[in-house]
Every structure is written in structure tokens, then in C-alpha cells.
Structure 1
């Protein structure tokens, strides 16, 4: 009985020692910041249709990524992701399983223009005006 009890206690001690976790982890992993980013509309109210996240990399740089859903005049839903980081700002437009990423070209007052090759996206308020060659697509931000 005493021999079985000492073996059991030895197993429990070894189990407790071996279960210690290493909290330091991998230092090169990108961490997500738990702070919340609030996007406001033109009236100063908090916009409830956005999904924002702030990501901090290993060098302490912060990246802000904001997702919106836009609706075309024909009823098609389009996912639009605005990404701002210290080096560049981009917009990614996803529709029909295709994504177009355009870098920010300029800002004129309350209008922001993104360009790449023959594609231009003009963002003003809740509307996004997309031009590609002779094709023009009007998109409005929507709530889902």
C-alpha cells in the first residue's frame, strides 16, 4: 500500500512539473491589439457597420484595417477593405471571388482616390465610384 502511494505521489509531482507552460513564446509573431477602433460617420455618430482591427507588428508599427460592405446599383454586394499602415494606404475590393487592391494616389478635400493601372476608385462619404476603362460602377455603403 505504501509503495503504491509513493509511486502515485511521484507520478503526480512529475506531472505537475512537466505541465508548466513557457509564457515567452515566439517573439516574431504578429500580435493583435485589443484596442477598439471607432469609425464615425459625417454626423459624428459611431458607425455600426464597420469591422475594424488594429494590428501591431514586432517593431511596434500599427496597421488599421477596416471592412465595409458596399452595394452596387444592380444589387450586387461587394466587400471593401481599407488598410492603413505607416508605408502605404490601400483599398481591396472583392466581388465574385476576385480581389482588386489599389494603392492610395491622392486626397482632394473629402474625396480619396485610389489608382492602379486602368482602374480608379474614388471614395467620398458613403459612396465609392469605380472606373475601369469605359466601365463605371457606383457603389453605396450598406448595412447588413
Structure 2
């Protein structure tokens, strides 16, 4: 069942799709942001009033933070190694962050381009800790569009 325009979306689950490969175990996504510069134009109107108008300027990329439970999947590590060893052409990719509804159907896609991994952090390792180990990937992107 699709959400009506007035229904709030629940953050049921998230996925990352990079080059056609979907990782659905993402538990947290931060940094989805579209932003651009503000250009101030100072001018006088026909009747002599001084006004400052604000116009949209150049758009900016950003950084995504993706958190998922630690698994045997080493896709994040391989992607990071390409950037770490200077193979930026191999590391720079396009993809999307996907928000899924309660039934597992894609609700919204945030398409990113020119993305490459900046860092990968493994959560604290504590003996006897009942919590789930996590890995946090920070991805730098050049542009984001909402589908």
C-alpha cells in the first residue's frame, strides 16, 4: 500500500545502491543534504529604494554517513581501498540511498554522483558487550538529486 501525500514516512529500513549492487542492511543514514550558495544582489529599484535580493548560486556536494551492522561483506573495504591507493577513477561512483517502506518496497531514492569513500570506522570492540558491532562509512559526493 502506497503512502498518501499526508502520511508520514517511517524510517523502516535503508539501502545503498552503488553500481547496481544493493546493500539493504543500512541501519542509519546521516548527511542527505542539497545545498547551494546564496548570491546577494544589491540594487536600487525604479523608485529609488535600495534592496538586497538573494539568488541561488553554485550547488555543493556533501558527505553521507552510513552505519550498518558488521557482516562478512567486504564491499565497503574494497571500495575504500580503491580511493586509498589513488585509483580515484575506480573509486568514484554513482548510486543512491534508498528508503524502504514497511513492506520492503522502495519509497524514495536519493541519487548521488561522483561519490567516493572518505573513511571507514569499525565500532568499539568490547569483550562481553551484548551490542551489535557496527561499521560506519563516510562517503563524499559531488551532487545529490531526489527521485
- TM-score of the two chains, using structure 2 as the length reference: 0.22
**Structure ranking higher in strand proportion:** 2
Higher normalized contact order (CA 8 Å, seq sep 6+, divided by chain length) = 2
Larger Rg: 1
- TM-score of the two chains, using structure 1 as the length reference: 0.22
